[in-house]
Amino acid sequence: MTGRKKKGGGASILPNTPTSTLGTESITDSLAHLNIGSSASSSSTQGVNLNANQTDMKGETTKKKQKKPKRDIVKDWSEYIGDESKLENWARFCRDLGLVGEFTSINKCRIALEPIWVNIRDFLDERQGKGKAKRFQSEGALAKYTIKTRKFYPREKAKEGGPLRALLAHIFSHRGHK
């Protein structure tokens, strides 16, 4: 939630009917008609079709576009990596990035990750079978791509530690950018 408040008064249940003129029976009947919030509803799977046809100001029927749910990238990362203090998770991450070597310590993994420039959202998509994550030649190239595609990861979470801290790129003030 952005913290912004909506302007205007309360909304009506029925079009062109002020909320204050509806009685309890009318509200219940309206809710039962819409199949929401009514104890009389026979199935919990019923609900309002958020992608329903609507009539625009010209009287033409239009289809309302349904918004995609916002992705919880921090949760996706956490589910992928597991316990960030375990060597096997660091080593798996290095192998999943295509790195070759013996990852016998977290420090060796950290060193192996230093020259790697990859967008973490693309990496997680790749792990889910949704395309291939591009490896960039420089921090500047990754920064340019990330800004263009708006595929950010929360910096505060990346700074907390673990493999993401090793991959942390300075997107808006990367080295070599002036």
Three-class DSSP category at 54: strand
pLDDT one-digit tens code per residue, 71-80: 789 999 999 9
User: Could you identify the residue written with the tokens 């104890």?
Assistant: 39
pLDDT one-digit tens code per residue, 122-177: 999 999 999 899 999 999 999 999 999 999 988 888 888 889 888 888 787 655 54
Q: Are strands 53-55 and 61-63 parallel, antiparallel or unpaired?
A: antiparallel
pLDDT for 168 equals 85
> Any idea what DSSP says for residue 40?
T
| Phi, psi (degrees; rounded to nearest 5) at 54 | -130, 160
User: How many of the other CB atoms lie within 10 Å of CB of 151?
Assistant: 14
pTM, 2 dp: 0.58
Percentage with pLDDT > 90 across the chain: 44
CA separation for the pair 97, 170 (Å, rounded):
20
Domain segments of the chain as ranges = 73-167
